[in-house]
A and B are shown apart, each in its own frame.
Chain A
Amino acid sequence: MKRIFSVLVENRSGVLSKVSGLFARRSFNIDSLAVGETNDPDVSCMTIVSSGSKQTMEQIEKQLNKKLDVIKIKSFENWQSVTRELILIKLRYNKSNREEILSICTLAGAEVVDAGKRTMMIQLCDTPEKVQMLLDLLAGISIVEVARTGTLALQRCVDTEK
């Protein structure tokens, strides 16, 4: 199973390595990881997507809870949350495939953010599935570079209103 862990941690040096080190040491998977400060500058939010057995998911939460730099953990499944990834793709293009690329962009909702004579850069901010779809659609195009964030996720509003 896949699970998303939204982990609030003390915003101190070394915390990222402590948390990622825990995953490495206990052989837990990290499918994706995104870290950033929250509205409180003393607190960072780490969004970790992991996969494994139900028992492993339970251990991840318990072991994270033991870390003294971890303030709070929320864990949820994909359908319980809004997820986003941002991808930047630099492509090599020519006259013959320019229209094709632009139509793929329109289809996927990606936009062109920079362009030169032979290369252009497109961006997409969407669910991990849509981001993957864009990459699949671009399979025949010559991709120069890709930069992609980890998944960001927050629990859906209906679930958090109690």
Chain B
Amino acid sequence: MNGAEAAAKCLELAGVTTVYGYPGVAICPVFDSLLNTDIHTVLVRSEANAAHAASGMARISGKPGVCICTSGPGATNLITGIATAYMDSIPLVCITGQVNSDLIGGDVFQEADITGAAESFVKYSYLVRKASDIPRIFKEAFHIASTGRRGPVLIDIPFDIQNQEVRKFDWPEEVNLRTYKPTFYGNPMQIRKVVTALENCERPILYTGGGVHLCQARDEVRAFSEKFNIPVVSTMMGIGAMPSKHPLYMGMAGNNGNLAANKAINESDTVILVGARIADRAVNNPGKMMANKTLIHIDVDPAEIGKNAHCDLPIVGDAKAIFTELLKEEIHMGDMRGWTTELQTYRKKKSRRVTPDKYTDPAYFVQKLSSAMDDNAVYVADVGQNQIWSCANVIMREGRFLTSGGMGTMGYSLPAAIGAKMADRDTQVVSVSGDGGFQMAMMELATMNQENLDLKIVVLNNSTLGMVREAQKFSFGERYTMVDLNGGPDYEQLAKAYRLKYLKIENNDTVDSTVKKFLRTKGSVLLEVIVDEDGIVRKGDRK
């Protein structure tokens, strides 16, 4: 057995079913070895999308996604995907080929110091020095990626190491890293303090982040909210923790959030933050906003607690484990009806249309689309105006909402949707992009076809980079530059070129019927939705 065969065996032992990647000579031994396994290999069309697809798969399956690329440009192209996963704490194991060990540092063909270049975007990285280390390294990599605060782990394997003989394949039963022991269970004393804090508060809220999904704590968090009648607001990454129409759900908070959610934060006296990092877009001026409140911060990463706002009561650990404990507690809370009813009145204020009738109103479209989707469907938003319109208007039930929240990587939606679909082919997956982000990822339509996937793809077309144009409108005196996308493709022809069905919505009149047809049609469909280039996401009070 050589290093490459050992790597393939490790992937099997780790329970990997699918890997995304792009070959080059330096990684050929690994792909060759995968031919002898049941692992399905998916050739993407650009390396960053291998990581995005692995990310989409990881977020739905709950297991680390795997991508494999070659050395040099393959590895550097992958970096954006790795960084995107890192910012959203998505578990990935990324494998790259490397030039021969004795040539490292010689600036030889397709050599890149990928462990060095990716250092600030990975949870950990390995440059494999001898093939016999491969089983231990892979075992550790999957453990590190999928425990504690999830994140990408990189394994860089030189070509000669892939071909080096492994005399004894020693797959460790357990991982024992003296430097890595993430806290899983919450400290019981701290949990008791939460009980006391809740018994002494009048206006508590739960503020859910992406961590709720990452440790699959959705049911526990919902049960806790319902049991004690505590209203819930969400960050962008936390969307889906509660169904949109749940009486205790107040929506997404923050710059782009809605009134009820922001009121809930402003007027609360106790905030239980779960798996959220008080990011700049979620909480504007956290110091000010969290002042005069009791902040209870539940996070698996102690470094996030107290990083962006003061914290009164930290609990380090896994949200699922902590809420399981909290649900066992008897908490004698005051009557929450007044508080929840007050917030519910804000929620009833209807969202206004943002564009004239000549075009499709994106808010209306997202509402109609998400209402018509399956209860457990996956909605994958890209980055930009489409993302903000999606967050603000998507109607979630039991499904998932995926997007690149931390990094804001354009072109995430289509490859992530591919990965999400491959994690569960029975689930309806809808990718929503703007025409800018879509053109960064549309080469992956080929990957989708090659894998016979049934994806529903929406392109909100305004022939401009809407988010940047909006910034130029308000902050640069309407001096528009670098935002015109008029050179874009004819989407009907594009759909034809990729053998996809094509639908188009010009204005609000046909939204209802076309959305239904779009979702009902068997096989992948490209839906072009014409939206106004002057459409804006910002609200009146934003500067």
Q: Which residues of chain A have a CB within 8 Å of any CB of chain B?
A: 10, 14, 17-18, 21-22, 25, 55, 58-59, 62-63, 65-71
Q: CA–CA, A45 to B393, complex, Å? A: 53
| B302 close to chain A: CB less than 8 A | yes
A62 — which chain B residues lie within 8 A by C-beta?
302-303, 307
Chain B 9-55 residues near chain A, CB threshold 8 A: none
Binds A, one of B116-124, B412-420, B489-497: B116-124
B306 — which chain A residues lie within 8 A by C-beta?
55, 58
Q: CA–CA, A17 to B179, complex, Å? A: 18
A58 — which chain B residues lie within 8 A by C-beta?
306
| B60 close to chain A: CB less than 8 A | no
**Interface majority SS on A: helix, strand, loop or mixed?**
helix
B149 — which chain A residues lie within 8 A by C-beta?
66
Q: CA–CA, A17 to B113, complex, Å? A: 13
B127 — which chain A residues lie within 8 A by C-beta?
14
- A18 with B179: CB separation less than 8 A: no
- B179 with A70: CB separation less than 8 A: yes
Q: Which residues of chain B have a CB within 8 Å of any CB of chain A?
A: 115-116, 119-120, 123-124, 127, 144, 149, 177-180, 301-303, 306-307
Closest CB-CB distance, A97 to chain B, in whole Å?
48
- B179 with A69: CB separation less than 8 A: yes
Closest CB-CB distance, A62 to chain B, in whole Å?
4
Which listed residue, A17, A25, A63, A69, touches B303 by the CB 8 Å rule? Answer: A63
With A17-B119, A65-B302, A71-B178 known, 6 other A-B pairs at CB within 8 A are A14-B115, A17-B116, A21-B119, A22-B120, A63-B303, A71-B179
A70 — which chain B residues lie within 8 A by C-beta?
179
Closest CB-CB distance, B143 to chain A, in whole Å?
11
B144 — which chain A residues lie within 8 A by C-beta?
68
Closest CB-CB distance, A80 to chain B, in whole Å?
23
A25 — which chain B residues lie within 8 A by C-beta?
120
Q: CA–CA, A14 to B125, complex, Å? A: 11
Q: CA–CA, A62 to B149, complex, Å? A: 13
12 A-B Cβ contacts within 8 A?
A14-B127, A17-B119, A21-B119, A21-B120, A59-B303, A62-B302, A62-B303, A63-B303, A66-B149, A68-B177, A70-B179, A71-B178
A65 — which chain B residues lie within 8 A by C-beta?
302-303
Q: CA–CA, A55 to B287, complex, Å? A: 13
- B115 with A66: CB separation less than 8 A: no
Closest CB-CB distance, B103 to chain A, in whole Å?
17
Closest CB-CB distance, B494 to chain A, in whole Å?
40
A68 — which chain B residues lie within 8 A by C-beta?
123-124, 144, 177, 179-180
Q: CA–CA, A14 to B129, complex, Å? A: 13
Residue of A nearest to B305 (CB): A62
